[in-house]
């Protein structure tokens, strides 16, 4: 069974206005986060799966610096 993680949209200055990151939180603290933001949700999901996670939901739009 894979560990659950969240996929979150990150505000960006690009034409779409956001990118995607996956992260794993425990007790409210981020313990692992994707190395880079992704333009496409499914690219982010694929990267999370390569790291042993299964994404379960995405959260509200956040700024990248608020994740840490």
Domain boundaries, the chain: 3-67
List the beta bridge partners of residue 26.
Answer: 29
Q: Of the ranges 1-5, 24-28, 30-34, 64-68, which one carries the lowest mean pLDDT score?
A: 64-68
Which run of H or of E encompasses 53? strand 53-58
CATH T-level fold of 3-67: Double Stranded RNA Binding Domain (3.30.160)
* Cα gap 67→7, rounded to integer Å: 11
Question: How many helical (H) and strand (E) elements, i.e. helices and strands, does the chain have?
Answer: 1, 4
* pLDDT digit string, tens, across residues 25-62: 888 888 889 999 999 989 999 999 999 998 776 565 55
Residue 66's pLDDT band, with cuts at 50, 70 and 90, is low
* Cα gap 14→3, rounded to integer Å: 31
pTM across the whole model: 0.76
């Amino acid at each position: 069974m894979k560990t659950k993680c969240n996929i979150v949209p990150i505000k960006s200055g690009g034409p779409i206005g956001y990118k995607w990151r996956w992260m794993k939180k425990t007790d409210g603290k981020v313990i692992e986060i994707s190395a880079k933001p992704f333009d496409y949700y499914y690219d982010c999901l694929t990267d999370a799966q390569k790291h042993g996670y299964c994404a379960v939901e995405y959260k509200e739009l956040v700024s990248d610096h608020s994740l840490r």
